């Protein structure tokens, strides 16, 4: 099945194994809910982007920035470093993890539409290579921080090229009417470029756009690239300055359900390269260095969540049919995407094979909220009972990273598996962790 990580397999008795370790072993050793990260899958997804874009644009002409917000931990950052990736962070907290892992600052880009002065200062002090400027307010903030330090900071400008990527409304980010960046159409992006060029402490290196998430149609990237290249030409005409960098963001779509297919990095890379080359040629520009920022497409498919079934019940529906409610020991605190984006996932019985008839089922969590639904409609064996294990694939992106402590639940650990070995890379939160925030003198 396409949505499982590459080292997922099923034993003859129906049990799920990931990188050679059974679901039962993982659950008994580390508890549930549990994020299981297939290290080899993560690393090969990352390499696929490097290989595909280097193949299209040439070695040394592309940088792949892993979008840390999808899932970040010090261990993952070590893999990125070893495998030749760069890192995109968008808060001081994400930067703190990068610092903990001693990730080279020369390979970090800092995003965000409302970076605080403190965050900007931390980024500059660490030596972050690029700050992605997102607003006029920020131009003066970054300039001031750089001036105080007597340095020149490299920056790129986040533009909104006015493209409605064909994706879920809530996760599209490049309409004009969005909080991110400077619109190209209104002239704001050009004005931002002028202001940045006017600063002695800022060094304008390039333009950026991130047109959305879960994109399956390469036309969006191609149109964005064309519009940005027009702006590069306008900037060159005005100032004789050819910016060396073009960053096309992330958003590469992946499969969550059987029958869906992911956007192939090699296909996008080839198409982008053709469009960029011809647009640059038309404007008499050299093809700039290309950056991309995949998050979901690298980590999404590499993780699955293991849950233990706690309670089950059956309800009679208005149409006379019935539905099983299968409650697991996690829920919206470890997977908020169904609640906020109507995102769909699938699930399998992970500890055994069942020959029982399938029945319409709903997998729900343990939170005090009717909307705490992980999978709204799925057919599952009618003999699923307390103690069974369920596994949801493709939870790597925005699962653990958007996890919450709602209902004072402890956020699940992440266990990396590789060659039959499992190790905790982010441990389970404990009640002590939660209670540490209490001020008993308050």
Ligand X SMILES: *Cc1c(COP(=O)(O)O)cnc(C)c1O
* Residues marked as catalytic: 368
DSSP, res 412: P
User: Any contact of residue 400 with ligand X (CB under 6 A)?
Assistant: no
Nearest to 364 by CA among 328, 391, 388, 340: 328
Print the SS3 string covering 308-337.
EEEEEEEEECCCCCEEEEEEECCCCCCCCH
The CB-of-171 to ligand X minimum distance in angstroms stands at: 8
User: Any contact of residue 111 with ligand X (CB under 6 A)?
Assistant: yes
DSSP reduced 3-state for 137: helix
Q: Which is nearer to ligand X, 181 or 365 (CB)?
A: 181
User: Any contact of residue 33 with ligand X (CB under 6 A)?
Assistant: no
Peptide linkage before 33 cis (omega within 30 of 0): yes
Q: Which is nearer to ligand X, 112 or 381 (CB)?
A: 112
The CB-of-166 to ligand X minimum distance in angstroms stands at: 14
From CA 259, how far away is CA 115, in angstroms rounded?
40
Tell me the helices (H) and strands (E) count for the chain, helix number first. Answer: 12, 21
Q: What distance lies between CA 312 and its chain's CA centroid? A: 33
User: Any contact of residue 295 with ligand X (CB under 6 A)?
Assistant: yes
User: Any contact of residue 213 with ligand X (CB under 6 A)?
Assistant: yes
Of 397, 403, 415, 416, the residue at the interface with ligand X (CB under 6 A) is: 397
User: Any contact of residue 210 with ligand X (CB under 6 A)?
Assistant: yes
Of 182, 252, 307, 345, the residue at the interface with ligand X (CB under 6 A) is: 252
For residues 414 and 424, is the Cβ–Cβ distance under 8 A? Answer: yes
User: Any contact of residue 16 with ligand X (CB under 6 A)?
Assistant: no
Q: For residue 250, give Cα distances in angstroms to 69, 175, 213, 415.
A: 11, 16, 7, 25
Using the rule CB under 6 A, give the single segment among 62-70, 225-233, 262-270, 376-384 that binds ligand X.
62-70
User: Any contact of residue 201 with ligand X (CB under 6 A)?
Assistant: no
Q: Which is nearer to ligand X, 26 or 108 (CB)?
A: 108
The footprint of ligand X on this chain (CB under 6 A) covers a number of residues equal to 17
User: What contacts 302, CB < 8 A, 6 or more positions away?
Assistant: 5, 37, 38, 39, 41, 42, 45, 396
From CA 369, how far away is CA 344, in angstroms rounded?
18
User: Any contact of residue 80 with ligand X (CB under 6 A)?
Assistant: no
Of 115, 201, 296, 366, the residue at the interface with ligand X (CB under 6 A) is: 296
The CB-of-252 to ligand X minimum distance in angstroms stands at: 6
DSSP letters spanning 322-388: EEEEEEES--TTT--HHHHH------EE-SS---SPEEEEEEE-SSS-TT-EEEEEEEEETT--TT-
Of 250, 393, 412, 413, the residue at the interface with ligand X (CB under 6 A) is: 250
The CB-of-284 to ligand X minimum distance in angstroms stands at: 29
φ, ψ of residue 10 to 5 degrees: the values are: -120, 130
Using the rule CB under 6 A, give the single segment among 5-13, 51-59, 245-253, 319-327 that binds ligand X.
245-253
The CB-of-156 to ligand X minimum distance in angstroms stands at: 11
Of 52, 70, 228, 273, the residue at the interface with ligand X (CB under 6 A) is: 70
Q: Which is nearer to ligand X, 297 or 373 (CB)?
A: 297
Beta strands at 414-418 and 34-38: parallel, antiparallel or unpaired: parallel
The CB-of-208 to ligand X minimum distance in angstroms stands at: 7
Angle at the Cα of 395 (from 70 to 360), degrees rounded to 5? 150
The CB-of-94 to ligand X minimum distance in angstroms stands at: 11
Of 92, 162, 288, 294, the residue at the interface with ligand X (CB under 6 A) is: 294
User: Any contact of residue 69 with ligand X (CB under 6 A)?
Assistant: yes
The CB-of-205 to ligand X minimum distance in angstroms stands at: 16
Of 68, 105, 251, 330, the residue at the interface with ligand X (CB under 6 A) is: 251
Q: Which residues are at the interface with ligand X (CB under 6 A)?
A: 67, 69-70, 88, 111, 210, 213, 249-252, 293-297, 397
């Amino acid at each position: 099945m396409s949505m499982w990580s590459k080292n997922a397999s099923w034993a003859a008795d129906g049990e799920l194994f990931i990188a050679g370790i059974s679901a039962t072993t993982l659950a008994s050793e580390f508890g549930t809910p549990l994020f299981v990260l297939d290290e080899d899958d993560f690393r090969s997804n990352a390499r696929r982007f490097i290989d595909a874009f280097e193949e299209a644009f040439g070695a040394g002409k592309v940088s792949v920035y892993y979008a840390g917000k999808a899932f970040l931990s010090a261990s993952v950052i070590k893999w990125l470093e070893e495998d030749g990736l760069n890192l995109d962070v968008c808060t001081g907290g994400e930067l703190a993890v990068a610092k903990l892992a001693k990730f080279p600052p020369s390979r970090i880009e800092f995003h965000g539409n409302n970076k605080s002065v403190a965050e900007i200062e931390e980024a500059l002090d660490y030596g972050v290579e690029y700050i992605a400027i997102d607003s006029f307010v920020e131009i003066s903030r970054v300039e001031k921080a750089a001036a105080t330090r007597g340095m020149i900071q490299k920056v790129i400008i986040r533009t909104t090229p006015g493209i409605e990527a064909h994706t879920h409304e809530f996760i599209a980010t490049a309409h004009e009417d969005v909080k991110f960046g400077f619109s190209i159409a209104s002239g704001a992006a050009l004005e931002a470029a002028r202001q940045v060029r006017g600063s002695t402490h800022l060094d304008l290196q390039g333009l950026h756009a991130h047109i959305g998430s879960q994109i399956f149609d390469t036309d969006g990237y191609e149109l964005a690239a064309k519009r940005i290249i027009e702006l590069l030409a306008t900037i060159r005409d005005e100032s004789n300055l050819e910016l060396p960098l073009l960053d096309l963001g992330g958003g590469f779509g992946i499969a969550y359900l059987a029958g869906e297919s992911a956007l192939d990095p090699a296909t996008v890379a080839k198409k982008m390269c053709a469009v960029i080359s011809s647009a640059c040629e038309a404007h008499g520009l050299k093809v700039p260095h290309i950056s991309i920022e995949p998050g979901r497409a690298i980590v999404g498919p590499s993780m699955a969540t293991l849950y233990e079934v706690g309670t089950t019940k059956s309800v009679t529906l208005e149409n006379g049919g019935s539905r099983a409610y299968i409650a697991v020991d996690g829920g919206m605190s470890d997977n908020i995407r169904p609640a906020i984006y109507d995102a769909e996932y699938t699930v399998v019985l992970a500890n055994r094979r069942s020959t029982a008839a399938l029945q319409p089922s709903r997998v729900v969590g343990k939170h005090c909220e009717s909307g705490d639904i992980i999978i709204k409609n799925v057919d599952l064996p009618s003999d699923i009972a307390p103690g069974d294990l369920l596994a949801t694939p493709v939870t790597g992106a925005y699962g653990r990273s958007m996890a919450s402590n709602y209902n004072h639940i402890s956020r699940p650990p992440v266990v990396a598996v590789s060659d039959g070995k499992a190790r905790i890379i982010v441990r389970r939160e404990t009640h002590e962790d939660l209670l540490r925030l209490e001020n008993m003198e308050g």
